[in-house]
Amino acid sequence: MTADVWLPIPPEDIEGLPEGPNYRYWDGAEDFPADPAECVFYVVPYMKPPALGQRPLPRMSSVEVVQTLSAGVDHVEPGLRHLHPGVRLCNARGVHEASTGELTLTLILASLRGVPDFVRAQDRGEWLGGFRPALADKNVLIVGYGSIGAAIEDRLAPFELARVARVARSERTTARGPVHPLTELPALLPEADVVILSTPLTDTTRHLADADFLARMKDGALLVNVARGPVVDTKALLAELETGRITAALDVTDPEPLPREHPLWRAPGVLISPHVGGPTSAFLPRAKRLLVDQLSRYVNREPLRNVILTTGAKRA
């Protein structure tokens, strides 16, 4: 059996790939680069529709590793049902922290300081002065404190915040302070001036920011979603935005892409970026380093990094 590795980046562009496998380039083209049955390590094309990335999985009878180049794996998981037990699914932890952290800070500052209003005023030739909220002295709540949540806090650290509260699936302690369990989220929401969603999309987090969640946010608070669109109940968010009680900055939406006539585009107090948290100039060098490391580990039969689940086994 030929041991093929499918890469969405041309292998000749990745310095340091280990010798041994046959590297095949496939970034979602209609024709597969080889027989999917001979693929042992599949790197899912980045920023492509979920159905496209899942398309070869039913024919990958020999695959041992499925590697995403995204932090989330929800776009791949439905296709795993076609695979035999024992296939490891790995995410791209370490690739997107810098870019997503930068965008999160950008969305917060732009929203608080009124940058969208300034851009519109510039188009009208209008000098729009006045006082705006500062990030300094604010209470910030990070919901989803994995590597991206921690990277966001790193970038918030110089801004003289009053407090940062952290929430994750389970309670733990970090160098920066305690991480609260999800069960404590209702008590933390009313204290936060800025609520940042950076959690993966799971059955637990789908519509986590529902009507009750949003109602608990304090008047004037800002909701920032750099996670996945369905983490927020769009209908409930629209209802809150229409009242003007809270504002939002969204890099992800539900649905996505957001249709031209969707009311979220025109809701008051919302800033929308088109899911650009990851795709920056920082992506490619980090993605290449991850692939070289993971494939070296695979070839040398060393433990892989970032294993999210193994097919046929219960998810931790």
Query: How far apart, in whole angstroms, are the C-alpha atoms of residue 84 and residue 82?
Result: 7
Partners of 224 in the beta sheet? 196, 249
Strand partners, 209: 232
CB neighbour list of residue 224: distance below 8 Å, 6 or more residues apart: 104, 107, 108, 111, 194, 195, 196, 197, 248, 249, 250
Annotated catalytic residue 262: no
Element (H, E) at 106: helix 97-113
Q: 89: closest CA among 316, 310, 293, 294?
A: 310
Catalytic residue among 75, 96, 180, 275: 275
* Token representation of residue 263: 């009311």
On the CB side of 49, how many CA atoms lie within 13 Å of its CA? 5
Of the candidates 203, 218, 255, 263, which has an alpha carbon nearest to the alpha carbon of residue 239?
A: 263
**Residue 144: left (phi > 0), alpha (psi -120 to 50), or beta?**
left
CB atoms within 10 A of CB 204: 10
How many Cβ atoms are within 10 Å of 27's Cβ, its own excluded? 16
User: Which positions are annotated as active-site residues?
Assistant: 275
